[in-house]
Amino acid sequence: MSTTVTAKGQVTIPKPVRDLLGIVPGSKVDFRRVADGSVVLARADKKQPVSRFARLRGHAGEGLTTDAIMAMTRGEG
């Protein structure tokens, strides 16, 4: 992915990169030079972005109880 530097020295971080790192408006980022001379962009707070699975956790809503599910799997219900 590439992006263009503005006259003010600003760039837009591509959406796939923002999504990957969990960068949202107001997030702070670090730029670090690594041993091979390249520059790495990272979240300044070092938090790992929430996984897509974690975001789904708890969103099934109210449903059957564990006992009801077990009864169904046993053919009791």
Q: What is the pLDDT of residues 22-41, one digit of tens each?
A: 889 999 999 999 999 999 99
User: Which is more confidently placed, 72 or 49?
Assistant: 72
CB-CB contact of 43 with 27 (8 Å):
yes
pLDDT of residue 62: 73
Of 64, 61, 27, the C-alpha closest to 46 is 27
CB-CB contact of 28 with 44 (8 Å):
yes
Question: Domain containing 65: what range?
Answer: 15-73
Overall domain count for the chain = 1
pLDDT of residue 20: 86
User: What would the mean pLDDT of 37-64 be, rounded to a whole number?
Assistant: 75
Is 47 within a domain?
Answer: yes
Is 9 within a domain?
Answer: no
Residue 42 structure tokens: 């990272």
Of 57, 52, 45, 58, the C-alpha closest to 20 is 52
Is 33 within a domain?
Answer: yes
Q: Say what the alpha-carbon torsion angle 61, 66, 68, 74 is, to the nearest 10 degrees.
A: 130
